[in-house]
Structure 1
Amino acid sequence: MLMRRLLLIALGLGAVLLTANAAPPTGKMLRVGWLEGFREKFDPDSVPVHRALMESLREQGYVFGRDFTLEYRSARGNPERLPELAAELVRLQVDVIITTGDGQTRAAMAATKNVPIVAIGVADPVATGIAAGLARPGGNVTGLAINAAEISAKRVEFLKEAIPNLSRVAVLWNSNLKAMQLQYQQVETAAPRLGVTVLSIRVSSSDDFDKAFAAISESRSGGLIALFGPMRGNDLPRIAEFVNRNKIPTIFELGQGVRGGGLMEFGPDHVKLARLAGAYIDKIGNGAKAADLPIAEPTTFELVVNLKTAKALGIKIPQALLLRADRVIE
């Protein structure tokens, strides 16, 4: 199994120190802002990431309505709205802003240099300029990051292991995000060692997908790597519908494709990351500066294999790969 437990590296700061002496600040109602890209409303009952954050804060001793309030702003799949929503949270004088993606994090950074930002699952923050370093971020962004570039290279390996005769793979990626550029470069570097040729399919807006899908079909690639970074809320369903209709073996980021019929998923569990965000909020609420709170990264990841899809595609997944999977859908 790849996912045994979530370990953290933060160049000297462990999870124990993050959660030590947790308690709401005395005599203060903490105002938490949440900048969301897609989900229309905050709904802990049905959205696991939302529920994980609330549970995390509860574990720190925080009670909603007594110790903190939440201002939730969603772009509802329209990223052009993120800057104005981030500015609105700043005008509301929130004490901390939670973000769950690169676009949200950058919008919040552009809106304020003073309000602390706790990012959940931001990709490659040092390489993309979001933070000066993991141990000392140096700005107003801290939280839970992902070494997404290295993870992307592993996706090539898993796809090749599932399809030993794979010789050509298409990579669908969002060219607007620097983190995506790094991820694609890692795929491009890893593929030749596996005897795989890479076809770059760049998209910069949702309007590019029809052209991208046509290019993938014409390339006759034996597989597809879908790097997460949709521009609008219906992008992932469109990708899933396309690969299912054209019977293309595809590996997605964790939680982004198997339910729609994708062959595999690989990556960190964002719900587990969200469960750790409460410790950061508690530290900030009690006076710590984001610049001094190390950014943590997961060091273990989850692999999901969809055997139902494999059978439909006529692919026999090697037993060795199935044994490494954390979850198998039959």
Structure 2
Amino acid sequence: MRRREFIIRVAGLSAVWPLIAHAQQSTRIAKIGVLWHAGSAEEEKIYLDILTKAFNDLGYIEGKNVLFLHRFPAEQLERIRSLASELVVSNVDVIIAITVPGAVALKQITSAIPIVFVVAPDPVGSGLVASLAHPGGNLTGLSFMAPDLTGKRLSLLKEAIPSLSRVGLLQDRSLDPVTTRNNVESYSKAAQAMGLVLHPIEVPTPESIDAAFSAAAIDGCEAAVVAGAMLANEGARVGA
């Protein structure tokens, strides 16, 4: 082959190759795992629709170039762990963890797959990331910065009820032990600084919500703070 002809052919391939590579990349289907907290797609419909629409707006069309693997643990810790393992074994490209227990379970299982937690009260205190500025590892996400807001929440209650002296802290059992401990410590310090008495109450199931509020009332609590995915999911019952 003549040198000139060879150079022309190589130059031609060089021009075409990026197009071929782009075409191959554009037809690849991304696999995204989502570890929810409720028990079904129907229960998560509002948030599930928002999530898929957000990806759609970014050009990720379900069935075309993205495949979602949704898993619904129904706020059960054992199911959270087993479904987290199932997603990791499925070799997904990234996993979205809706709850802190889900993110914690995934961190314990994999250090290779990127994990994005949706909201965490205290990702540093929960051991998910090294710091907010430099998360490190394979996890990142959004923080409620809860330790910084505990005092403000109690302050709002105190403003609404000037005579407030006792506050109930209702936490659902799906919270990981570290988050539960950190919540109690943060609220206890803030309550003590404001001259309030904090009464932590565990809420194991949605059916226990009424009993938890009754226990808070019997203990003399005039207001309550609620924490945890299950209690958030049961907002209507908590409000009632």
TM-score scaled to structure 1, two decimals?
A: 0.58
Cα distance between partner residues in 1 of 2:142 and 2:194: 31
Q: Which has the larger radius of gyration?
A: 2
User: What is the Cα deviation at residue 101 of structure 1?
Assistant: 0.6
Amino acid at match of 2:89: R
- Structure 2 counterpart of 1:37: 37
Change (3 A) 1:85 1:190: same
Please state which structure has a larger fraction of its residues in helix: 2
Cα distance between partner residues in 2 of 1:229 and 1:54: 21
Say if 2:220 is the partner of 1:220.
yes
Mapped contact 2:95–2:116 kept (Cα < 8 A): yes
Cα distance between partner residues in 1 of 2:205 and 2:238: 21
Cα distance between partner residues in 2 of 1:107 and 1:100: 12
* Structure-to-structure mapping, 1:55-66, within 5 angstroms: 55-66=53-64
User: What is the Cα deviation at residue 93 of structure 1?
Assistant: 1.1
Cα distance between partner residues in 1 of 2:132 and 2:92: 25
Segments of 5+ residues of structure 2 without an aligned counterpart are 1-23
Cα distance between partner residues in 2 of 1:52 and 1:145: 19
Change (3 A) 1:157 1:206: same
Mapped contact 1:94–1:115 kept (Cα < 8 A): yes
Amino acid at match of 2:26: T
User: What is the Cα deviation at residue 95 of structure 1?
Assistant: 0.6
User: What is the Cα deviation at residue 102 of structure 1?
Assistant: 0.7
Amino acid at match of 2:190: A
Say if 2:108 is the partner of 1:131.
no
Cα distance between partner residues in 1 of 2:60 and 2:205: 40
Cα distance between partner residues in 2 of 1:256 and 1:121: 17
Change (3 A) 1:176 1:118: closer
Deviation per CA, 1:106-135: give whole Å up to 9, x if none.
111222111111110122111221111223
User: What is the Cα deviation at residue 53 of structure 1?
Assistant: 1.5
Mapped contact 2:101–2:176 kept (Cα < 8 A): no
Mapped contact 1:100–1:120 kept (Cα < 8 A): yes
Amino acid at match of 1:197: V
Q: Secondary structure at the match of 1:133?
A: coil
* Structure-to-structure mapping, 1:1-330, within 5 angstroms: 25-41=25-41, 47-173=45-171, 174=173, 176-202=176-202, 205-206=204-205, 209=208, 212=212, 215-230=215-230, 236=231, 257=235, 259-260=236-237, 262=239
User: What is the Cα deviation at residue 42 of structure 1?
Assistant: 6.6
Cα distance between partner residues in 2 of 1:26 and 1:126: 36
Q: Secondary structure at the match of 2:134?
A: coil
Amino acid at match of 1:260: R
User: What is the Cα deviation at residue 216 of structure 1?
Assistant: 2.0
Amino acid at match of 1:157: S
Cα distance between partner residues in 2 of 1:134 and 1:176: 20
Deviation per CA, 1:274-310: give whole Å up to 9, x if none.
xxxxxxxxxxxxxxxxxxxxxxxxxxxxxxxxxxx8x
Deviation per CA, 1:130-161: give whole Å up to 9, x if none.
11122332111112222122223222111111
Cα distance between partner residues in 2 of 1:260 and 1:69: 34
Change (3 A) 1:261 1:42: closer
Q: Secondary structure at the match of 2:26?
A: coil
Cα RMSD (Å): 2.9
Amino acid at match of 1:74: F
User: What is the Cα deviation at residue 208 of structure 1?
Assistant: 11
Cα distance between partner residues in 2 of 1:123 and 1:141: 15
User: What is the Cα deviation at residue 25 of structure 1?
Assistant: 4.9
Deviation per CA, 1:176-227: give whole Å up to 9, x if none.
4312322222221222333322223245x44995875564233121111122
Mapped contact 1:149–1:184 kept (Cα < 8 A): no
Q: Secondary structure at the match of 2:85?
A: helix
Amino acid at match of 1:136: H
User: What is the Cα deviation at residue 77 of structure 1?
Assistant: 3.3
Equivalent pairs: percent with the same residue? 29
Deviation per CA, 1:29-87: give whole Å up to 9, x if none.
100111122141278xx733222222221222221111100111111232211111111
